[in-house]
Amino acid sequence: MASNEKQIKARGILSKHGCLNVAVTGKSGAGKSSFINAIRDLKLGQQGAANTDVKECTKDIQSYQIQENSHIVFWDLPGLGTETFKQENYTDQVNLLEYDFFLIIGSERLTENDIWLAKTMQNHKKKFYFVRAKVHIDIITEVWSRLNPRSKDQILTTIKNDCYVNLRQHGVSEDDIYLIDNFTPEQYDFNRLRTKLLEDALQFKKTYLTSEYVQKEIIIRHRKKVLLERIKKVAMETAATSSKPVPELGASLNIAVLLRETKYLTEQFELTVESVAGSEDLNSLHSAELQELIERNSVDIVCSEKGIIDVCKDTELCEIIDLQCAMQQRTSEVSDSWSCRIASKYLKGTLDIIYENAVKVNKEIFRFQCKILY
């Protein structure tokens, strides 16, 4: 597959259900692929490990997930500063701005490419951490190269200060700088970085779920508004055409139309497991739990003539209904406007029940999704 095609494919995968898409970028040879292997507890050559080498070896974009967290995806980007990937084209070549979050991996001295990446992120209001890899090498070579070697902490402080001084004007705080060595992930800042990334991914997912929930509630509210307009027309239709007397309500109604409408209203708010954001990422146990939750919380609208009468009797029109029935018994006349009012009352009452229920189920689904995040 041509690399362009792969990138377009990547674009589709990127928008996936609130997964934090982390682009691992930086100069070629900095340790990007090695970082991805380290965070996934893999060594070069192990099945599924990213390719790493002293020569440029990552030209296509690949994604990697870690076992303990499905809400984070690492994208191993080609290194910046090679013959193929130069600053002027890099943003487009790798769709840089599509990602949610960035790790700029550097090694040895901070380069112009590192600074350019930080500046690009800052200009586009993208969040990133700067990760200085290979610090173990710095510590070892100190002993070989100096007559009076500095302590390990002194070396680390020097590296960190150098990064901070050069990056702070691009919005980087000291905490956003991580000193790591990919071959000793139990040392230096590796675990702090791992923990922070997992926290960030969780926060990102929560924000995504919240926005999905709010969005759905807006849609539910809007749908109710549209359906209220529809009800006005249908109520007239059901009172005027092929209506039959319903003595309990003192009205004459087209029951078939009312039943058809009841079904229609129910369908407009139906929430299924499939319609829930990220449902294809749920394991079978969670899917079944969600299914059960939706069923347990859904109201059962009785789609029958008796159901219609019950809903009408349940409204504040009760007293007038009794009055109408009494009047009708005396005059044996049914007024069209009364029938229309009853039909409209019934449909609005039903819509209210279905709407309230949809709001409740939406809230329950959101709670469930937040619960299973932990």
Ligand X SMILES: Nc1nc2c(ncn2[C@@H]2O[C@H](COP(=O)(O)OP(=O)(O)O)[C@@H](O)[C@H]2O)c(=O)[nH]1
Query: Which residues are near Mg ion by CB under 5 A?
Result: 32-33, 58
Q: In whole angstroms, how far apart are CA 39 and each of 74, 190, 307, 308? A: 10, 9, 59, 61
Using DSSP, state whether 106 is helix, strand or coil: strand
- For ligand X, the closer CB: 182 or 328: 182
Looking up tokens 């890899």 gives 133
Site map (CB under 6 A) of ligand X, residues 70-99, x = contact? ---------x--------------------
- For Mg ion, the closer CB: 36 or 312: 36
Q: Which does 18 bind (CB under 5 to 8 A by kind): Mg ion, ligand X, none?
A: none
Cα–Cα nearest to 152, from 173, 179, 170, 128: 179
64: β partners: 74
Cα–Cα nearest to 133, from 28, 57, 41: 28
- For ligand X, the closer CB: 79 or 349: 79
- For ligand X, the closer CB: 143 or 285: 143
How far apart are CB 56 and Mg ion at their closest, in Å?
8
How far apart are CB 57 and Mg ion at their closest, in Å?
6
Q: Which does 54 bind (CB under 5 to 8 A by kind): ligand X, Mg ion, none?
A: ligand X
Q: Characterize 84-107 residue by residue with b for buried, 16 or more Cβ atoms within 10 angstroms of its Cβ, and e for exposed.
A: ebeeeebeebbbbeebbbbbbbbb
Residues in CB range of 325: below 8 A, 6 or more apart: 247, 248, 249, 250
- For Mg ion, the closer CB: 33 or 243: 33
Q: Which of 30, 72, 131, 312 binds ligand X (CB under 6 A)?
A: 30
Answer for the pair 258, 351: CB distance below 8 angstroms, yes or no. no
Q: How far is Cα 304 from Cα 294, in angstroms, rounded to an integer?
A: 23
Q: Is 181 in the site for ligand X (CB under 6 A)?
A: yes
How far apart are CB 36 and ligand X at their closest, in Å?
8
Site map (CB under 6 A) of ligand X, residues 119-158, x = contact? --------------xx-xx---------------------
How far apart are CB 186 and ligand X at their closest, in Å?
13
The helix (H) or strand (E) run that includes residue 347 is helix 336-371
How do strand 127-132 and strand 177-179 relate by DSSP bridges? parallel
Residue type, 352: D
Answer for the pair 117, 26: CB distance below 8 angstroms, yes or no. yes
Q: Which does 53 bind (CB under 5 to 8 A by kind): Mg ion, ligand X, none?
A: ligand X
How far apart are CB 68 and ligand X at their closest, in Å?
21
Q: Is 28 in the site for ligand X (CB under 6 A)?
A: yes
How far apart are CB 100 and Mg ion at their closest, in Å?
20
How far apart are CB 274 and Mg ion at their closest, in Å?
38
Answer for the pair 206, 373: CB distance below 8 angstroms, yes or no. yes
- For ligand X, the closer CB: 12 or 45: 45
How far apart are CB 93 and Mg ion at their closest, in Å?
15
Where does this chain bind ligand X (CB under 6 A)? 26, 28-34, 52-54, 58, 79, 133-134, 136-137, 181-183
